[in-house]
Structure 1
Amino acid sequence: MSSGPGADSAPAPDPDDSISALKTTKTAKTAKTFDTAKPRKSSMFSSLKVRNYRLFFLGQVVSNTGTWMQRIAQDWLVLSLTGSATAVGITTALQFLPMLLFGLYGGVLVDRLPKRRTLLVTQTSMALTGVALAVLTLTGQVQVWHVYLAAFAVGLATVVDNPARQSFVSEMVGPDQLQNAVSLNSANFQSARLVGPAVAGLMITG
Structure 2
Amino acid sequence: MKSVLKNRSFFFMWIGSAISELGGAFGTLCNSILVYELTGSEMALSSMWLLYFIPSLILQLISGPFIDKWSRKWIMICSQWIRASVFLLPLVMLVTGNIEVWHIYVVQIVVGLITPLYTPASQAITPSIVGKEQLQDANAYIDGMTRLMMFLAPVLGGVVIHLIGTELTLSFVCICLFVSGAFLFYIKENRTSQPIRKTWLEQFLHGFTYFFTKPIIVWLGIFLTFVQFGVGVTMVTNLPYIKDELSADMRNMVILWPDSHLAM
Which TM-score applies when normalising by structure 1? 0.75
1:12-91 to structure 2, matched below 5 A, reads: 42=1, 46-91=3-48
Moved more, 134-143 or 54-63: 134-143
1:183 to 2:135 alignment: no
> Residue 134 of structure 1 aligns with which residue?
91
1:120 to 2:77 alignment: yes
Aligned residues: 163
1:145-156 to structure 2, matched below 5 A, reads: 145-156=102-113
2:89 and 2:103 in contact (8 A); partners too? no
1:192 to 2:149 alignment: yes
Deviations 1:79-106 (A, max 9, x none): 0010111111111111121221121222
> Residue 15 of structure 1 aligns with which residue?
none
1:96 and 1:155 in contact (8 A); partners too? yes
Structure 1 residue 200 displacement after superposition: 1.7
Deviations 1:48-72 (A, max 9, x none): 1101111111111111111011111
Opposite residue 142 of structure 2, the aligned amino acid is N
1:106 and 1:163 in contact (8 A); partners too? no
The CA distance in 2 between the partners of 1:121 and 1:180, in whole Å, is: 27
- Aligned residues: CA RMSD: 1.4
Structure 1 residue 107 displacement after superposition: 1.7
Structure 1 residue 170 displacement after superposition: 1.4
Which TM-score applies when normalising by structure 2? 0.59
Structure 1 residue 132 displacement after superposition: 2.5
The CA distance in 2 between the partners of 1:106 and 1:185, in whole Å, is: 22
Classify the secondary structure of the residue corresponding to 1:153: helix
Moved more, 142-151 or 192-201: 192-201
1:169 and 1:178 in contact (8 A); partners too? yes
Opposite residue 91 of structure 1, the aligned amino acid is M
1:52 and 1:172 in contact (8 A); partners too? yes
Classify the secondary structure of the residue corresponding to 2:131: helix
Moved more, 156-165 or 128-137: 128-137
Classify the secondary structure of the residue corresponding to 2:130: helix
Deviations 1:103-122 (A, max 9, x none): 12222111010111111111
The CA distance in 1 between the partners of 2:113 and 2:122, in whole Å, is: 15
1:98 and 1:159 in contact (8 A); partners too? no
> Residue 100 of structure 2 aligns with which residue?
143
Larger Rg: 1
Gaps of 5+ in 1: 1-41
The CA distance in 1 between the partners of 2:35 and 2:126, in whole Å, is: 35
1:109 to 2:45 alignment: no
> Residue 160 of structure 1 aligns with which residue?
117
Q: Please list every run of at least 4 consecutive aligned residues from structure 1 whose deviation after the TM superposition is greater than 4 angstroms.
A: none
Opposite residue 127 of structure 2, the aligned amino acid is S
Aligned residues with identical type, % of pairs? 28
Structure 1 residue 134 displacement after superposition: 1.6
